[in-house]
Amino acid sequence: MRVFALSWLWLVVGLLSFGPEPSFRERYQALMRQHKTQEAKALVARWEKAQPQDPDLYVAKFNLILSEAEVLSLSTSPAKAGELNITDPKTGKEVGSLGGGGGLNSVKVQQAIDVLQKGLLLAPDRLDIRYGIAKATEYLNDPQQQYQVLSDALAWRQSAAGKPWRWRDGGALPAPEAEFVAGTLEEYMVPYWQSGTPQDYRRGLALAELLIKYYPKSALGYFNKGNYYA
């Protein structure tokens, strides 16, 4: 009896010591925090084979593609933190720098959007995925596509028969829906108001009216519409 009891004790200790294996998402996030991009790519390839129906797989692929989309720019200015110095091989003096700031490669950005669209097909209730696509359209300087993405999102929610939005990792929104969606949608209007051009003001107005249509009790829609006429 004592041997039997000890066997169970060791089993319990083993379970407590090792616990469940981290998920693909958790391992991916850990690798990205450590800037181990190549290891993250290899993990995502295994993830896709094991769980191709996991929407977070496509979020991970989207972020990986965007991480490689930055275009390097050559400058005669001194190197800033994280940039490379360029020196004259004859004199050894610094003559410029190579770093980010060249924008994002539009082909890569569109590729990232296409990947995230696959995740959206699996989880149309994931607002973070829809917002990821909308944000990526900014990098393409495509306001029309951005408006369509946001309009489709709000129209889907209205037709979803009460199904709530989900957020990152499939969790709940971090605040009540009306408050959260109105506040985050307003963030897409800010660049248009800051631009100051008549065309961008009309784009800001279109988003404000979209907010009023779907969340008429929020003051933010009316406030932003007022910006257009101010």
Render pLDDT for 18-75 as a digit per residue (tens, 0 to 9).
Answer: 446 789 999 999 999 999 999 999 999 999 999 999 999 999 999 999 988 885 445 4
For position 17, what pLDDT does the model report? 42
- 93, part of any domain: yes
State pLDDT tens for residues 179-206. 999 999 999 999 999 998 999 999 999 9
For position 69, what pLDDT does the model report? 83
Residue 156 burial (10 A CB sphere; 0-12, 13-18, 19+): middle
Q: Which residues pair with 126 in a beta bridge?
A: 166
- 2, part of any domain: no
The set of residues, in sequence order, having a beta carbon less than 8 Å from that of 229 and lying 6+ positions away, is none
pLDDT at 172 over 90: yes
Helix boundaries (H) for 77-169:
106-122, 127-139, 143-158
- 125, part of any domain: no
Mean of pLDDT values over 107-119: 96
CA 188, 115, 32 angle in degrees (round to 5)? 80
Instruction: Sheet with 94-99: list strands edge to edge.
Output: 73-75, 94-99, 84-87
The overall pTM is greater than 0.85: no
The domain total for the chain is 1
Mean of pLDDT values over 102-131: 93
Is 66:116 a contact under the CB 8 Å cutoff? no
Q: Which residues pair with 70 in a beta bridge?
A: 104
pLDDT at 102 over 80: no
pLDDT at 88 over 70: no
Mean of pLDDT values over 130-134: 97
For position 63, what pLDDT does the model report? 93
Q: Report the range of poorest mean pLDDT among 1-15, 95-109, 119-133.
A: 1-15
How far apart are the C-alpha atoms of 184 and 98, rounded to whole Å?
34
User: What amino acid occupies position 10?
Assistant: W
pLDDT at 101 over 80: no
Question: Can you give the residue range of the structural domain that contains 90?
Answer: 70-103
For position 161, what pLDDT does the model report? 73
For position 87, what pLDDT does the model report? 54
Residue 9 burial (10 A CB sphere; 0-12, 13-18, 19+): exposed
pLDDT at 163 over 70: yes
**Other C-beta atoms within 10 Å of 181: how many?**
24
- 85, part of any domain: yes
- 90, part of any domain: yes
User: From its phi and psi, is residue 80 left (phi > 0), alpha (psi between -120 and 50) or beta?
Assistant: beta
**Other C-beta atoms within 10 Å of 172: how many?**
11
Q: How confident is the model at residue 5 (pLDDT cuts 50, 70, 90)?
A: very low
- 224, part of any domain: no
3-state secondary structure (DSSP) of residue 215: coil
